[in-house]
Amino acid sequence: MTLEIVSSNKSFGGWHKRYRHRASALNCDMVFAVYLPPQAEQGEKLPVLYWLSGLTCTDENFMQKAGAQRLAAELGLIIVAPDTSPRGDGVPDDPEGAWDFGLGAGFYLNATQEPWARHYRMYDYVVHELPALIEAHFPVSDRRGIAGHSMGGHGALVCALKNPGRYRSVSAFAPIANPLECPWGEKAFSRYLGDDRARWREWDACALIADARERLPLLVDQGDRDDFLETQLKPRALEAAAQAAGHPLTLRLQPGYDHSYHFIASFIDDHLRHHAEALRG
């Protein structure tokens, strides 16, 4: 549970800090970022939003590009951004070095197949190990929200749907909503989880939503000019699953927006307010 500080930047009266630590769930060293709003220095315990990034990202993309700190400082919200996969010399990668599997593409699940199972346990890391570390070292309350983009948007939905009571709010930008039925998901799941597709269902938001024991409202933004919309993201499958299960979902199709951080920055304030409202209560 030792944290080594990597960097520290003052930001909107608070601090953007990066830390390195040994992650036992992942058997490797990991770097994560935390945004501490000015209120974190006032002795109060603050709610915390976990942000899960998409394919190829690290902890840096969200903190540098989303423009979330301004409103987080106003709302008194701590934001934690982990990396997107285990890292380091001993961690196996896609044999062809593809960007949609292996390093930068952990898919926030617990792999069961070798050589991945020894390191690729991002679910355990983001749901258990990292929050325990955050709660031990920073002034956070047990009010947790979770959000993310693309692979991480789906990760946020899965983490929330699998853990009733653990998160008070959840939202996603352009999630890979139904990985069971898209090329990115089929590639990752078949390698991390093996060929038995029945085992994949516990890592698919559309499948999980049918059995959800908690009706946590889902907020999803999706650009309608996103290049991955039809082939990979499939928000309509999420909508159908939510409708069939009677699960509250606000799905907003944003006209003209693509898959980039320009899209995320344009709507991050809505998401932060959505989380802050649920986390304040």
- Tell me which residues are annotated as active site: 150, 226, 259
Task: Assess 202 for contact with its own copies (CB under 8 A).
Answer: no
Task: Assess 38 for contact with its own copies (CB under 8 A).
Answer: no
User: How far is it, in rounded angstroms, from Cα 125 to Cα 106?
Assistant: 11
> By C-beta, is 120 or 263 nearer to its own copies?
263
Residue 226 C-alpha from the chain's centroid? 19
Task: Assess 6 for contact with its own copies (CB under 8 A).
Answer: no
Find the shortest distance in angstroms from Cβ 253 to its own copies: 13
Contact segment (CB under 8 A) with its own copies among 3-11, 18-26, 87-95, 121-129 equals: 3-11
User: How far is it, in rounded angstroms, from Cα 33 to Cα 46?
Assistant: 16
Q: By CB under 8 A, name the one of 266, 271, 278, 279 that touches its own copies.
A: 266
x-marked contacts with its own copies along 216-235 as a string, rule CB under 8 A: -------x-x----------
* Strand duo 78-81 + 28-36: pairing: antiparallel
Task: Assess 56 for contact with its own copies (CB under 8 A).
Answer: no
Task: Assess 69 for contact with its own copies (CB under 8 A).
Answer: yes
- Helix (H/G/I), strand (E/B), else coil: 221: strand
Contact segment (CB under 8 A) with its own copies among 4-12, 42-50, 142-150, 178-186 equals: 4-12
**Which DSSP symbol is given to 233?**
I
**Nearest one of 225, 237, 226, 77 to 157, comparing CA atoms:** 237
Task: Assess 88 for contact with its own copies (CB under 8 A).
Answer: no
Cβ–Cβ < 8 Å for 131, 50: yes
**Nearest one of 133, 113, 136, 115 to 125, comparing CA atoms:** 133
Torsion of CA 229, 233, 234, 239, to 10 degrees: -120
Q: By CB under 8 A, name the one of 2, 5, 10, 97 that touches its own copies.
A: 10
Site for its own copies, rule CB under 8 A: 9-13, 16, 64-65, 67, 69-70, 223, 225, 256-258, 260-263, 265-266, 269
